[in-house]
Amino acid sequence: MSQTVKKTFRCHPEPDECKGCGRCVSACPKKLLKLGSALNIMGVPYAEYSGEGCVGCGACFYTCPEPGAITIYEITPEA
Amino acid sequence: MAEVVKFGRPKGFFETFERRPGSIKKNMSYCPGCGHGVLHKLIAEAMADFGIQDKTTFISPVGCSVFAYYYFDCFGLQVPHGRSAAAATGLTRANPDSIVIGYQGDGDLAAIGFNAFMQAANRGENYCVFFVNNAIYGMTGGQMAPTSLLGQKTATSPYGRNALTEGYPLKISEMVSQLESPVYVERVALTTPANIMKARKAVRKAIQINMEKKGFAFVEVLSGCPVNLKMKPADMDKFIDENMTKYFPLGVYKDVTAEREPVVRPVPTFEKADVEKALYRELPGGDQEHESCDSEIFNRELRIKIGGFGGQGVLSLGLIMAAMGKYRNLNVSWLPSYGPEMRGGTANCAVIVNKGPIGSPIVDSNCDLLVVLNRPSLDKYLPELGENGVLMYDSSTIKEVPAVKPGQKAIALNTGDIAEEFGNLKCANAVMLGAIGAMLTKHYLTPADAAKFQETAEAAIAECFAGKDKIVKMNIEACKLGFDKMQAAL
Ligand SMILES: Cc1ncc(C[n+]2csc(CCOP(=O)(O)OP(=O)(O)O)c2C)c(N)n1
Ligand code: SF4
Ligand code: SF4
Ligand code: SF4
Ligand SMILES: [Mg+2]
């Protein structure tokens, strides 16, 4: 029986590379990002990912002005 | 479970920004939410995807993106304000295979560098330009830019930009697209994800055009400067989408990529032999029939300065002497300098004669022969006379014997009076030329070279006053007269 392996995605905002501008928060079509209340090394509240539901669209990545503040991982369950 | 990075830090950036001072080495220096960062990422991603980093030069402008070369892992140039187009022109002309990326703000491109930019676009230089239109001078603290909107309050338009006093915002994409040369012109905005993806496409297209060498590609990028526009990043995007795009509509303004062939220009050569040939080629008219002179003084650079009033023939005396050097198969330079007025002001010229190549044509020190036809020139240029230099002056106007240093010679002849007696004061310079000949004959020339003086002077005079036979004849006579008088006096 063949089964299509469903891909899932994970968004990882790197706290210490985030400047807290909030652009990713507005960009995510699934509303999965928000600015928290903890402060990072730059002294700003940073973006946090809700933990699930990312569809890997890349909107948050491309709208973020920081080089490596956001990484989107594609997860393939092991067969 | 296997995890792979689908979107992550673009490889076109350095892994860490070591050139950045301070402890933060992973971030760029832009304010939170700044459009520069968004555009940098698109460019870095494209460079890495296309595998062109090793042959790309990114030109950082003056503006907030002045340190862009801290970030991009490719060649970098940081140019003075507005000079991106000039540097890009040189780069692509000298290295036609290289990829050249210009990156300029609205102050840099549309104000101080506007002419240079438009001319480069009009020449269809082989590079691509990303124009960050954030409607403000970001770096300097929010002054009005050529692209600031009507009514926009800035540090220098506190009541809002007014068309009557500040003019209308410049529509750069519209202007560039009217030019014949540019291949591709598009305006994009770094706002919604959809708009950013269009910007991404435009960035990639412009770079690809440059990779194919199809000429000038231009992308105007409406970009946020939330700090100077005093907006939250979210409101910033709204301002761009609702206000800026009304005046600066998004879209492709020109795209003739499909019709254009690669632009191929002649490549300048930098081979030493070729450069020397171009610089020190035998001068037209300089003839090889004349064997070169053997007098020792020509074995090194001979530096001559001639000063006087405009109208005294100072410049033509220098020109004749330079021509004489040419006829004796020497390298020569002649550098005139005079005030805005044609006559009556001060004038001087520098002549350098050398067997070997001449570097700079300027003579402002170590002068070997200083010729002055009036007092102010004596005062001004005597300090430039070198250790064993010779001063020759017109004693009909300079009455006191100038105080030269030990080792230097001061030789006088009343050239003005002699010329007047001869019948034309304008020939004083030719009288002086003869006097110089006599002085050289006595002190410096081999008999063989001395024997050629008159003949060479005649050829040079004939060349300088070509077509004016009477003047040629008169000057040749005055030169002979000067020679004889000087010879008698020495
Ligand atoms: C010759 C010169 N004139 C003026 C300046 C001052 N200056 C620095 S940046 C700048 C304007 C920058 O604005 P823009 O090009 O729009 O770049 P932005 O910072 O907005 O990205 C000016 C006028 C300078 N550095 N050099
Ligand atoms: S990749 Fe898309 S869905 Fe996932 S967090 Fe980013 S914006 Fe949201
Ligand atoms: S867009 Fe980037 S810098 Fe801005 S809040 Fe999100 S992760 Fe942080
Ligand atoms: S001043 Fe404006 S353009 Fe400059 S870094 Fe800050 S937000 Fe960006
Ligand atoms: Mg600007």
Task: Output the average pLDDT for chain B.
Answer: 94
User: Is B122 or A76 the better-scoring residue by pLDDT?
Assistant: B122
- Determine the Cα–Cα distance for residues B212 and B300; give it in Å rounded to an integer: 51
Mean pLDDT of B28-36: 96
Q: How far is the CA of B150 from the centre of ligand 1 (A)?
A: 21
Report the b/e string of B340-374 with b at 16+ CB within 10 A.
eeeeeebbbbbbbbbbeebeeeebeeebbbbbbbb
SS3 of B204, please?
helix
Amino acid at B425: L
- Determine the Cα–Cα distance for residues B415 and B394; give it in Å rounded to an integer: 5
For B379, the token pair is 């005062």
Q: What is the pLDDT of residues A11-44, one digit of tens each?
A: 999 999 999 999 999 999 999 999 999 999 999 9
SS3 annotation, B281-330: CCCCCCCCCCCCCCCHHHHCCEEEEEEEECCCCHHHHHHHHHHHHHHCCC
pLDDT band at B287 (very low <50, low <70, confident <90, very high): very low
* B162-166, B251-255, B268-272, range with the lowest pLDDT: B268-272
Edge-first strand order for the sheet with B75-78 is B75-78, B56-60, B99-105, B128-133, B217-222, B184-189, B251-255
Nearest Cα neighbor of B393 from B406, B362, B408 is B408
* B1-5, B16-20, B149-153, range with the lowest pLDDT: B1-5
* B208-212, B343-347, B466-470, range with the lowest pLDDT: B343-347
Give the pLDDT score at B340. Answer: 66
Question: CB A19 to CB B192 under 8 A?
Answer: no
Question: Which chain B residues touch A68 with a CB distance below 8 Å?
Answer: 8-9, 26
Nearest Cα neighbor of B190 from B43, B14, B13, B5 is B43
For chain A, list residues whose CB is within 8 angstroms of any CB belonging to chain B: 9-10, 16-17, 19-23, 26-27, 29, 41-42, 44, 56-59, 61-78
For A12, the token pair is 């990882």
Superfamily per CATH, domain B293-489: Pyruvate-ferredoxin oxidoreductase, PFOR, domain III (3.40.920.10)
Other Cβ atoms within 10 Å of B110 Cβ, number: 24
Domains of chain B by residue range = 36-259, 293-489
Measure the CA dihedral B37/A62/B134/B178, to 10°: 120
* B160-174, B325-339, B364-378, range with the lowest pLDDT: B325-339
Report the b/e string of B391-419 with b at 16+ CB within 10 A.
bbbbbbbbeeebebeeebebbbbbbbbbb
Q: How far is the CA of B39 from the centre of ligand 4 (A)?
A: 13
Token pair 């501008």: residue: A21
Report the b/e string of B263-296 with b at 16+ CB within 10 A.
beeeeeeeeeeeeeeeeeeeeeebeeebeebeee
In terms of residues, how long is chain B?
Answer: 490
In terms of residues, how long is chain A?
Answer: 79
Asked if residues B233 and B40 have their Cβ atoms less than 8 Å apart, the reply is: no
Asked if residues B36 and B27 have their Cβ atoms less than 8 Å apart, the reply is: no
- Determine the Cα–Cα distance for residues B267 and B94; give it in Å rounded to an integer: 6
Mean pLDDT of B136-154: 97
* Minimal-distance CA residue of chain A relative to B25: A17
Backbone phi, psi, residue B335, to 5°: -125, 105
Token pair 């003047």: residue: B471
The continuous run of DSSP H or E covering B78 comes out as strand B75-78
| pLDDT over threshold 90, residue B143 | yes
Q: How far is the CA of B38 from the centre of ligand 2 (A)?
A: 16
Token pair 């009036």: residue: B374
Nearest Cα neighbor of B289 from B329, B241, B343, B240 is B329
ipTM reported for the complex, 2 dp: 0.95
Residues with CB under 5 A from ligand 5 (ion): B 105-106, 134, 138
Domains of chain A by residue range = 54-79
How many angstroms separate the CA of residue A30 from the nearest CA in chain B? 13
| pLDDT over threshold 90, residue B3 | yes
Give the pLDDT score at B284. Answer: 45
- Determine the Cα–Cα distance for residues B117 and B58; give it in Å rounded to an integer: 16
- Name the DSSP letter for residue B13: B
Which residue puts its alpha carbon closest to atom 3 of ligand 2?
A54
Question: CB A72 to CB B6 under 8 A?
Answer: yes
| pLDDT over threshold 90, residue B72 | yes
pLDDT above 90: percentage of residues in chain B: 85
Mean pLDDT of A52-60: 97
Segments in B340-393 forming alpha helices (H): 375-381
Superfamily per CATH, domain B36-259: Thiamin diphosphate (ThDP)-binding fold, Pyr/PP domains (3.40.50.970)
pLDDT band at A79 (very low <50, low <70, confident <90, very high): low
